[in-house]
Amino acid sequence: MSFRVKLLSLAAIGLCMNAGVALADTASAKIALSNNYAGNSWRQAMLKSWEKVTGQAVKDGVVAEASAFTTSENQVTEQAAQIQNLILQGYNAIVINAASPDALNGAVKQACDAGIIVVSFDGIVTEPCAWRIAVDFKQMGAIQVDYLNERIPDGGNVLEIRGLAGVFVDDAIHSGIEAGVAKHSKFKIVGSVHGDWAQEVAQKAVAGILPSLPEVKAVVTQGGDGYGAAQAFKAAGRPTPLIIMGNRQDELAWWKEQKDANGYETMSVSIAPGVSTLAFWVAQQILDGKDVPKDLTVPFLQINQADLEKSLETTEKGGVANVEYSLDDAQKVIAGK
C-alpha cells in the first residue's frame, strides 16, 4: 500500500470514528511510544511497564506492534525528528512522553494531519488534536507543603529539589510548591537545585549548595531525589531533615531503615511509571472507535507511613512503586470512573 493510499485509509477511519462507528478490530494496528528521556529509575520502570503490557497485547493479537523509541538526549528537536520518522514509518498511533508541552506541537500536528492518533502522558502536549493523560502535578507539589505544615507546626527553612529543567512536569510541581509556601507562610524556601529526577545528580547538587544554607528543616522533592538528598546531608555531617520521598525503591528502603532505627517519619508521592500502559490502552481504544475525552486525569501514587512496608515489599530492587493498567482499567478511566 502506498503512503498516499494509507493516508486516505486512515482518513476514512477518522471519518468513521467521527460518525460514531466503532471499529471492531485493532489487530493490524501499529502503536509507537516516543519517549524523550530514560536517564533515571522512573523512566526505566516506565519503559519496562510498556514492554510488559504491550508485549502481551501483541501476543494476544490486540495490536500488531507496540515499539518504544527513546531519544539519546532530552532535546525537542531530536524528539520532533523522531515523531516525523514515526509518521513516515506508518504507525497508526503515537504515544508521547514529551520534552516540551508546546515545542513539539508542530510535529504532533503533522501526525494528526496524517490521520495518526496522538496520545501524550506525563510530559503532555498542548496541541488540540492530541489526547492528554496527566496527574495534577501542581497539586502534587502543594500537598508536600501541606504535609510539612502538619508535621512541623512551627515552620522553618526548606530546600527544594527540582526535576529536569525546561520540562512541563518540573514547572508544574514547582508552581505547586510555591503555592504551598504562599499558603503556609511560616515555611521559607532557602535554596533550590535541579536534581534531574536522579539520585546521583540530586546528591551532588545538594552537596554543592549545603555549605551556603542555614538550618534546613525539610526538603521538598519531585521524585528520584530523596535518597540522594539524605546522603548529602549525612556526608556534610548535618542533621537529617524531613525529606519528602518519590516512591523509588532505594528511598523506601532508606526510609524503613530510619523508621526502624529512630522512628523517622515522612511521606512519598509520585506518578506511577505504569501510566505509559494506560496511554497505550487509551490509544488502542481510540483506534477501536471509542469516544475518549481529550483530557484524562489519573491520581498520583502516595505512600504514607502506614503503607511503607507493604509498598516496599511490592517494589523491585532498583525500581519504583508502580501501578500498571489493564484494558478494563483504561475503560474505567475513560468512563470517568
The residues spanned by each domain of the chain are 3-135+272-299+319-334, 137-270
The pLDDT value given to residue 13: 41
Spatial CA neighbour of 110 closest among 134, 79, 133, 139:
79
What does the pLDDT look like over 282-301, one tens digit per residue?
999 999 999 999 999 998 99
Mean pLDDT for all residues in the chain: 92
201 vs 4: which has the higher pLDDT: 201
Q: CA separation (Å) from 136 to 5, 173, 216, 301, 304?
A: 41, 9, 27, 11, 19
What is the C-alpha separation between 333 and 218, in angstroms, rounded?
35
Does residue 199 surpass a pLDDT of 90? yes
Pairing of strands 268-270, 301-303: antiparallel
Degrees (nearest 5) of the Cα angle 301, 304, 306? 130
Chain centre distance of CA 26: 26
pLDDT tens per residue across span 5-34: 333 344 444 434 443 333 448 999 999 999
- pLDDT at position 15 is 36
Q: What is the pLDDT of residue 156?
A: 98
pLDDT at 204: 98
Confidence at residue 134, expressed as pLDDT on a 0 to 100 scale: 87
Are 3-135+272-299+319-334 and 137-270 the same fold in CATH? yes
**What is the structure's pLDDT at 192?**
98
Whether 208 and 235 have beta carbons less than 8 Å apart is answered as no
Q: CA–CA separation, 34 vs 250, rounded Å? A: 28
User: Using one digit for the tens of pLDDT, what is the confidence trace for 151-171?
Assistant: 999 999 999 999 988 888 899
pLDDT in tens, 256-278: 999 999 999 999 999 999 999 99
Residue with cell 530523596: 226
Contacts 24+ apart (CB under 8 A), 325-331: 325/53, 325/274, 325/275, 325/277, 325/278, 325/281, 326/53, 326/281, 327/62, 327/281, 327/284, 327/285, 329/278, 329/281, 330/278, 330/281, 330/282, 330/285, 331/281, 331/285
Fold observed for domain 137-270: Rossmann fold (3.40.50)
The 3-class SS string of 34-82 reads EECCCCCHHHHHHHHHHHHHHHHHHHCCCCCEEEEEECCCCCHHHHHHH
User: In the prediction, which pLDDT does 214 show?
Assistant: 97
Q: 66: which 3 cell numbers?
A: 507496540
Distances (CA, A) of 280 to 68, 91, 196: 11, 13, 26
Angle between helices 275-287 and 41-59 (to 10 degrees): 40
Rounded average pLDDT over 165-180: 93
- Grid coordinates given for 131: 489526547
User: What pLDDT, on the 0 to 100 scale, is given for residue 19?
Assistant: 36
Q: And the C-alpha cell for 313? A: 515489599
Q: What is the pLDDT of residues 208-228, one digit of tens each?
A: 999 999 999 999 999 989 999
Total-model pTM: 0.83
pLDDT at position 194: 97
CATH superfamily of 3-135+272-299+319-334: Response regulator (3.40.50.2300)
The pLDDT assigned to 72 comes to 86
